């Protein structure tokens, strides 16, 4: 992210890839850290469904690296 908080850390929000309201599980493999703008776009944007699919694939690929 282009900005940081007062401690110098990235300003990130945790997002559920598949929303809890849509039956998504509350587990780490269904979560991703996003900057506030990306979080808003993923939640409310015109391409939110496509973003959710892409984030899910990204998390699945990363998880395979750590198995």
Each residue of 49-65: b (16+ CB within 10 Å) or e? eebbeebbeebeeeeee
Q: What is the pLDDT of residues 25-60, one digit of tens each?
A: 999 888 999 989 899 999 999 999 999 899 889 888
pLDDT band at 7 (very low <50, low <70, confident <90, very high): very high
Give the separation between CA 54 and CA 6, rounded to whole angstroms. 31
pLDDT of residue 59: 85
What is the model's pTM? 0.74
């Amino acid at each position: 992210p282009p900005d940081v908080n007062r401690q110098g850390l990235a300003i990130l929000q945790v997002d559920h890839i598949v929303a809890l309201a849509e039956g998504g599980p509350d587990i780490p493999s269904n979560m991703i850290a996003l900057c506030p703008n990306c979080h808003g776009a993923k939640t409310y944007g015109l391409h939110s469904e496509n973003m959710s699919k892409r984030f899910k694939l990204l998390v699945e690929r990363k998880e395979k690296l750590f198995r």
